[in-house]
Amino acid sequence: MNNPLIVEQAGNSVITDLGRTRGPAFGLPVNGALDQFSAKAANILAGNPDNDPLLEITALDFRMRATSDLLIAVTGAPLHLTVGGRETPCWEPVSVRAGETVAIRRITTGLRAYIAVHGSFPVPVLLGSCAPDTVIGFGLRLANGTALPTAASLPPVSQPHFGLPLYRLGFAAPQFRDHLVIDVTDGPDVTEFGATAELLYQSTYTVSPRSNHIGLRLGGLLPERQTTAEVLSRGVPVGAIEVPSRDELLLLHRGRGVTAGYPVLAVATTRALDLLGQARPGHTITFRKTTVAEATATHRAACLELERLRGTVQTVFGLLGVGTNAGWRELPAAAGI
């Protein structure tokens, strides 16, 4: 074990990645980080590949101690982050000195935070992913005292004259709210609900405390299926909105089973799933109809935003020698500095 991170307050935290994409072919859910945009951004900011293992922290406070110098990045829901007792910004690379404690407090508005560590962690994988699967009992759920081995140590980087951090990347973090507008496309069974299908777009739904990584349960006015034919079990996508009863909607998330037998009224878009990963019990949701073309354009825009961030990070890290030899000392001095 090489210079491990010591978990001092685990809260509700796991090691995950972007999911088990090979899983559905074997009857396993994809799982992985529920807010994929925030998870990818954390790894990019830490200088890692998008799919490297990272920590997902849900709702509760978290604290860990470094035993070597590290570079980390914290993204996701708004929260209070301290490193060595110093208040520290999220959505930026952050240096942590050996012996310092990283503490996350007061996750607000959203539900989940992500911590990526430069070099990531060597952890077990199943079908190419370390994502936890509660059904088969696979994955690493953290506990107080867990020691996470780290793969790389990185001395702190600071401005040589004033001790100021050099990371100011200009990335605009997503805005999180307690009312979500969720884009959806028509599901395969929308016609079975007749005119009542429009209730989905005319109503406000409330996230139930019974929601989890498998799916969100939403209370509100429900469209009613107009036919009585039996629905055969078949494959269902992540994001499927089912109407299983007269009590609530069920919006399947990344932990969903790969088959189901309820009518699918609509399907949440990829970008909407990231927002839903931050939905807390009591948050309200309204649905907005979109097209596959519009949903694809929105997804591509988010990907381009992350690619621009990656380009900026790679340029800055290259100059500072993060993972390479420092190049910034070779740059000519700017006029007036």
Segment among 145-149, 230-234, 322-326 with least mean pLDDT: 322-326
Nearest to 78 by CA among 282, 309, 280, 284: 280
Give bridge partners of residue 94 from the DSSP assignment. Answer: 72
- pLDDT the model gives residue 231: 78
Provide the residue type at 316 as one letter.
V
95-139 tens-digit pLDDT: 999 999 999 999 989 999 999 999 999 999 999 999 999 889 999
Q: Which residues of 237-252 are buried (b: 16+ CB within 10 A; e: fewer)?
A: ebbbbbbeeeebbbbb
Do residues 185 and 289 touch, judged by C-beta distance below 8 A? yes
Q: Which positions ≥6 away from 220 have C-beta within 8 Å?
A: 203, 204, 205, 206, 248, 249
Q: Assess contact for 136 and 302: CB atoms under 8 A.
A: no
* Unique residue bearing structure tokens 């090489």: 2
* pLDDT, position 222: 92
Quickly state the pLDDT bin for 81 (edges 50, 70, 90). very high
Q: At what angle do helices 36-45 and 292-320 cross, to 10 degrees?
A: 20
Which tokens is 194 given?
């007749």
pLDDT > 70: what percent of the chain?
Answer: 92
- Name residue 141's beta-bridge partners: 14
Q: What are the respective helix, strand and coil percentages of the chain, to the nearest 5?
A: 20, 25, 55
- In angstroms, the CA 182 to CA 121 distance is 34
